[in-house]
Amino acid sequence: MTPETSFAALDSWLNQRQQKSDYRQLLLLTDADTLEGAIVSTIQKYYSNSLFVGNNWDQTEISKLAFKDINLKLGKAYSAVIMDCRHGFVANALYAGAGLVVKSGILILLTPKISLWPQYFATHHGIKFSYKDHHKHSYFAYLLSEYFTESPCSAWWSPSEHHLPILAPPKDANTSIGDIVPTQSTAPITLTKEQGVIIDSIANSWQSDKSINVIHAERGRGKTTVLAHLAGLIWGKNHSHIYICAPSKAQSVHFFDYLAQQKSNTDDFLRPVFISPDQYDSIERDSLVLVDEMASIAPSLLSKLCAQSNHVVLAGTLDGYEGSGQGLVFRWFPQYAQLLNIHQLTKAFRWVENDPLEVLISKVFSPVFSSVILNNSDTLTLRQVSKNELVNEPTLFQQCFGLLMAAHYQSSANDIQRMLDGADHCIWTYTTQSKKVIGIICTIYEGGPKVFDDEVLSEDISKGKRRVQGHMSTQALSQGLLKADVSNLTLCRIHRIAIAPEHQRKGFGKRLLKALHQHQATLQIDGFTTSFGMTQALDRFWHSNGYEVARIGQRQDTSSAAITGHYIHKDLKDYKNIKRLGQMSIYADVYYLNQFHPALSTLICERIKNAIMTQLNAKDVYAFCCSKALAFINNQISFAMVRSNLYFIAQYDDSTTLTELILKQHTPHMSKEEKLACTEAIRFALEQQFS
């Protein structure tokens, strides 16, 4: 088949499926480099509302954006989304991109020949992997090739051959999108019954008491549309202001587009206005605040929005690619349980019910865990699962990643990609003899002499001068303790741990960890570590299993709204020394945070504070802080790395000069030059104090 003949077939197919199919489809364009421009132009001829997603695209006649910016388009609708995957797959972007395609539309991927994917995408990475990761096979790409080519919604084309089916729904299929308009709405867009019920419910009750309404759904259920219709109903009927809040102003455009279809009166002084999340303090108490893409906003800012206004409506998808994802469910929702009114949209709004593209994308990027029933005769075993097993056994893949997606607040589609392809990532399952999965642990190998074989690099990492991709525990401990030799330890960090919901709080998590710890010798590692957003409950769990905190972060984690704790296991090589140095560092951190960031200080678990205050004496902490201060004096480390230690020294020595300089360094809105001058003044004051 000649390229011309094949191209003519593609042109004909695009024309026919636009007229005949209500279903969305996936089109894989392979080996199309020489015809790329002509193909995209042809696609746009039949699908004028198209979006091109890629990092290298020069044509200007089509809307385009980079992979990293795709979340800016959430809520927008396109007839065709073209994604240039030739430089690497980005799982989160693929998942989000599919959600932008409307009824009868196409998700189009530009790729090399499908049979080459596993080798090609082992060297062409769309996401970042750990320093010195050199995997030779992309299991994720293999998984996509299998699932994509087997799906009835998939078509593929190359200059020499093609498979271009037109996917028509069954004769008895319901291909309508909306089915009823809410009784109060005069909107021209037909809404689903679910949407109408939610709109009427909130419109009738939002002013009665302080409450937080949450509208959540998978992609394509019309959450932004609901917010716009709700605003249209309320606007002008009372004297309350309406605010639309989103991660960025660009992400509110879709809301105002929908609103404009209902309300043409642009002179109303009470018309809804955009407000960014960090402008919460300008919101009036009795105004209505509509928050779109809620999971893309830091939980701490959501809390401030809800504290400022009595009437808040949050809408968004809880899938991991939209920011904090399940973090809202596990960490934020419980704090507001008495105020929350939860609404869920289940009926497809942007495409038809049982859309095969949605089925395919969900199967790959958002697998669903099936509950497991244990019998008295079942015995449980921990075993390391090969990546080959995961991609070739659909049930195992669904159970493992479905459990992770359901149980962990930070799991996303990118995690699936990284766990399958990262050479340092391992997956362990806690299974019965009949292969029922009730628990899973994901571990990452970090550090060690084979990775950090450059002494200069290790030294620079400990001094905060350089940072490599991955190796979180290694770098956090090395820098926090100012110990370059930590890089020589081969660590195994527990990245994720999950127990099936129906078997939680039965001791399985403790048994799972105990079984893993028994593998320390056979894994040829120096010990286990873990890190997470600290809560009292999580700290108790890990401490009861032999872990102790060795470093804490100094900012609030976006996903968990908590402060990060880095923990080490008691069997770690040089555990006592690392623990002692780590706790002296935390001792100084507590002093510093109490003064400059009291809200963060409250996030440090009370057990930790009590332990360091009772087990350590201030004189030893002072000596530790002085050793780091000397490195600062000698220009080896920055002020940011040593500020906690310097503040502790100032308090211990009762140094008014040093205290005042450190306070000055924290003055808001200082220029770069002023900060630099203040830093030098602090360095000089220390030199005088130590001389």
Query: Predicted confidence band at 180 (pLDDT cuts at 50, 70, 90)?
Result: very low
Mark whether 86 and 207 lie in a shared domain: no
DSSP line for 6-17: HHHHHHHHHHHH
For residue 323, pLDDT beyond 70: no
Round to whole Å and give the CA distance between 380 and 433.
7
DSSP run (H or E) holding 290: strand 288-291
Mean pLDDT of 336-344: 89
Strands of the 437-446 sheet, one edge to the other: 381-385, 425-431, 437-446, 491-499, 527-533, 563-569, 547-556
- Per DSSP (E only), the strands in 348-504 are 381-385, 425-431, 437-446, 491-499
Mean pLDDT of 309-334: 74
Residue type, 686: L
Mark whether 216 and 331 lie in a shared domain: yes
What percent of the chain has pLDDT above 70? 92
Residue type, 446: E
Asked whether the beta carbons of 270 and 235 are under 8 A apart, the reply is yes
Asked whether the beta carbons of 396 and 389 are under 8 A apart, the reply is yes
CATH number of residue 141's parent domain: 3.40.50.11040
CB atoms within 10 A of CB 494: 22
pLDDT of residue 571: 97
Taking Cα atoms as reference points, which of 41, 10, 47, 45 lies closest to residue 28?
10
The residue out of 317, 345, 373 marking a domain boundary is: 345
Mark whether 230 and 142 lie in a shared domain: no
Taking Cα atoms as reference points, which of 143, 317, 97 lies closest to residue 215?
317
Assigned domain for 449 exists = no
Range of the domain at 250: 193-345
Assigned domain for 54 exists = yes
The strand pairing partners of 108, in sequence order, are 27, 82
Mark whether 33 and 81 lie in a shared domain: yes
Asked whether the beta carbons of 428 and 382 are under 8 A apart, the reply is yes
pLDDT of residue 186: 47
For residue 634, pLDDT beyond 60: yes
Q: Show the tokens assigned to 616.
A: 């350590």
- What tens digit of pLDDT does each residue of 161-175 get? 999 999 876 655 555
Assigned domain for 59 exists = yes
Among 56-65, 322-331, 459-468, 474-483, name the one with the lowest average pLDDT: 322-331
Q: What is the pTM of this model?
A: 0.90
Assigned domain for 507 exists = no
Mark whether 131 and 233 lie in a shared domain: no
Round to whole Å and give the CA distance between 503 and 436.
12
More confident residue, 611 or 261: 611
pLDDT of residue 38: 87
Round to whole Å and give the CA distance between 577 and 573.
9
CA 223 to chain centre: 20
CB-based contacts of 645: which residues, under 8 Å, 6+ apart? 585, 588, 624, 625, 628, 629
Asked whether the beta carbons of 362 and 355 are under 8 A apart, the reply is no
Round to whole Å and give the CA distance between 290 and 46.
36
Residue with tokens 């020595």: 653
Asked whether the beta carbons of 53 and 180 are under 8 A apart, the reply is no
The strand pairing partners of 548, in sequence order, are 568
DSSP state of 505: T
Mean pLDDT of 664-674: 93
- What tens digit of pLDDT does each residue of 4-31 get? 888 999 999 999 988 877 899 999 999 9
Mark whether 122 and 229 lie in a shared domain: no
Assigned domain for 468 exists = no
Tell how strand 211-217 and strand 311-316 pair up: parallel
pLDDT of residue 57: 62
Among 66-80, 137-151, 466-480, 565-579, name the one with the lowest average pLDDT: 66-80
CB-based contacts of 491: which residues, under 8 Å, 6+ apart? 445, 446, 447, 448, 473, 474, 525, 526, 527, 528, 529, 572
Taking Cα atoms as reference points, which of 274, 281, 206 lies closest to residue 214?
206
Mark whether 128 and 206 lie in a shared domain: no
Round to whole Å and give the CA distance between 435 and 378.
10
Asked whether the beta carbons of 321 and 95 are under 8 A apart, the reply is yes
Residue type, 327: G
Assigned domain for 79 exists = yes
pLDDT of residue 34: 80
Taking Cα atoms as reference points, which of 122, 7, 110 lies closest to residue 59?
110
pLDDT of residue 588: 97
CB atoms within 10 A of CB 278: 12
For residue 530, pLDDT beyond 60: yes
The residue out of 115, 143, 163 marking a domain boundary is: 163
pLDDT of residue 235: 83
Mark whether 209 and 148 lie in a shared domain: no
- Per DSSP (E only), the strands in 85-127 are 101-111
Round to whole Å and give the CA distance between 113 and 122.
14
Round to whole Å and give the CA distance between 560 and 323.
11
Query: Predicted confidence band at 319 (pLDDT cuts at 50, 70, 90)?
Result: low
The residue out of 345, 362, 388 marking a domain boundary is: 345
CB atoms within 10 A of CB 83: 23
Mark whether 9 and 158 lie in a shared domain: yes
For residue 544, pLDDT beyond 50: yes
pLDDT of residue 183: 40
Round to whole Å and give the CA distance between 479 and 482.
5
DSSP run (H or E) holding 547: strand 547-556
For residue 181, pLDDT beyond 50: no
Query: Predicted confidence band at 606 (pLDDT cuts at 50, 70, 90)?
Result: very high
For residue 325, pLDDT beyond 50: yes
Mean pLDDT of 369-373: 88
**What backbone torsions phi and psi does residue 168 show, to the nearest 5 degrees?**
-100, 140
Query: Predicted confidence band at 320 (pLDDT cuts at 50, 70, 90)?
Result: low
Asked whether the beta carbons of 127 and 417 are under 8 A apart, the reply is yes
Round to whole Å and give the CA distance between 86 and 124.
8
For residue 177, pLDDT beyond 60: no
Query: Predicted confidence band at 3 (pLDDT cuts at 50, 70, 90)?
Result: confident
| Number of domains composing the chain | 3
Mark whether 215 and 114 lie in a shared domain: no
Assigned domain for 679 exists = yes
CB atoms within 10 A of CB 630: 15
Residue with tokens 């909306």: 178
CA 116 to chain centre: 29
- What tens digit of pLDDT does each residue of 115-156 get? 999 999 999 999 999 999 999 999 999 999 999 999 999 999
More confident residue, 564 or 177: 564
For residue 182, pLDDT beyond 50: no
Question: What burial class does residue 347 get, using C-beta atoms within 10 Å of its C-beta: 0-12 exposed, 13-18 middle, 19+ buried?
Answer: middle
Assigned domain for 556 exists = no
Taking Cα atoms as reference points, which of 494, 479, 577, 576 lies closest to residue 531?
494
Mean pLDDT of 527-549: 96
Mark whether 119 and 39 lie in a shared domain: yes
- What tens digit of pLDDT does each residue of 497-515 get? 999 988 999 999 999 999 9
- The mean of the pLDDT values for the chain is 89
CA atoms within 13 A on the CB side of 340: 17
Mark whether 111 and 228 lie in a shared domain: no
pLDDT of residue 584: 97
Taking Cα atoms as reference points, which of 596, 597, 614, 616 lies closest to residue 606?
614
